Amino acid sequence: MNSAKVFFVTKRFYSGVASRVKAQKYVLTKYFQGEPKNTDFKIIEEDLPELKDGEILTEAEYISVDPYMRAYMVGYKLPVDMIGGQVAKIIASRNETYPVGKYVTGSFGWRSHTICNPENLKGKPGFSPFTLLPDLTPHPVSLALGILGMPGNTAYFGLKEICKPKPGETIVITGAAGAVGSHVGQIGKNLGCRVIGFAGSDEKCKYLEKELGFDRAFNYKTTDIRSALREGAPKRVDCYFDNVGGEISSTIMSYMNKYGRVAVCGSISSYNDPQPPKVTILQPAIVFKELKVEGFLVDRWINRWEEGVKANLDWLHDGKLKYQEKIYEGFDNMVEALVGMLRGENTGKAVVKVK
């Protein structure tokens, strides 16, 4: 028996995993038509191999449902493993930096158990970049999928680097009660801006105004957008954080100030449409107001990932960042959670507690 083998046996012993593990995973077998459905997927059981040197075995504790999932799956050849971020516990390890019992986040997809070599993942772009979680006590580890993870960094870098808001400016946010939107608004307030949100229910609007300190929030389903802007943004709009696309975005851009900045984070209003919808043309507003409209994916700032997490953690500790989570339960309910999030059931981040 050579030394490598001894090492392996030791680690296996340490991990407490007595035998090979079976993973369950969602495989997409039909492209979404309209809203995602359970019948678009198959749940497959998969034997995992033994750990190689440097690898870890993780067990999902929380799996994320995010708007991008609806948009991206059209780009893959079927059948394909479902994408997505998760917070997972290390349950076996052959990598001393990643001991059993610690938590990691990564783009592991909708699956129960995963083997990976962290060295191949660290610093790589992805929907949910790989990280070893620090101790978040007293906060739940699920925050690594929310304000201390991809959505949190989307809010942080998108607002700071694309919108570049100055104190006193007016920021408008659509999808304002979602994981990213509710966070953007609070950063905006922390930076000294006037913050206006559009969300999908009166209850969400009340939460944004009363709990999160938005200057105004409007129910886009029951309010005339132009009147709301006149009322909420008397100095018009300098920065627009666009989570939804659609006609509301055309209206908001037509109400912006010269040299306004638009961070296009998503286009959730059109994700379930089989054909991209038609909306009022943006170019006249873009040219005459000299707007800068920029789309972004958060992994552009992968090299500054920890900066964002730290900034958000500091605000959290200082009481300047609040959060809500909508927690669905059970690995079998992934599709229900995704659809619920796309329908706007959640205030703040939607996650599935699978363990």
Instruction: Quote the tokens at residue 196.
Output: 């206006």
- With CB under 8 A as the contact rule, the residue among 53, 206, 288, 314 that binds a second copy is 288
Residue 203 · residue 219 · CB < 8 Å: no
Nearest-CA neighbor of 354 among 345, 343, 336?
A: 336
Closest contact distance (angstroms) between CB of 55 and a second copy is 31
- With CB under 8 A as the contact rule, the residue among 1, 5, 18, 278 that binds a second copy is 278
Instruction: Kindly give, in sequence order, each residue whose CB lies less than 8 Å from that of residue 297, ignoring residues fewer than 6 positions away.
Output: none
284 makes contact with a second copy (CB under 8 A): yes
Distance CA 233, CA 217 (A): 11
Closest contact distance (angstroms) between CB of 193 and a second copy is 22
Q: Which one of the spans 36-44, 108-116, 119-127, 244-252 is the region binding a second copy (CB under 8 A)?
A: 244-252
91 makes contact with a second copy (CB under 8 A): no
Q: Which one of the spans 37-45, 100-108, 214-222, 292-300 is the region binding a second copy (CB under 8 A)?
A: 292-300
Segment 58-87, which members bind a second copy (CB under 8 A)? 71
Name which of 157 and 331 has its Cβ closer to a second copy.
Answer: 157
Return the number of other C-beta atoms located less than 10 Å from residue 276's C-beta: 9
246 makes contact with a second copy (CB under 8 A): yes
- With CB under 8 A as the contact rule, the residue among 295, 314, 329, 343 that binds a second copy is 295
Q: Which one of the spans 132-140, 221-229, 238-246, 340-348 is the region binding a second copy (CB under 8 A)?
A: 238-246
Q: Where are the alpha helices (DSSP H) in 61-149?
A: 67-72, 118-121
- With CB under 8 A as the contact rule, the residue among 44, 121, 132, 282 that binds a second copy is 282
Closest contact distance (angstroms) between CB of 112 and a second copy is 29
Return the number of other C-beta atoms located less than 10 Å from residue 240's C-beta: 24
- DSSP code string of 19-34: SPPEEEEEEE-S---S
283 makes contact with a second copy (CB under 8 A): yes
Instruction: Quote the tokens at residue 184.
Output: 């953007």
- With CB under 8 A as the contact rule, the residue among 264, 341, 342, 352 that binds a second copy is 264
Residue 243 · residue 234 · CB < 8 Å: no
- Residue 165, preceding peptide bond in cis (omega within 30° of 0): no
Nearest-CA neighbor of 189 among 148, 230, 227, 159?
A: 159
Distance CA 294, CA 158 (A): 10
287 makes contact with a second copy (CB under 8 A): yes
- Binding residues vs a second copy (CB under 8 A): 71, 242, 245-246, 249, 264-267, 270, 276-297, 300
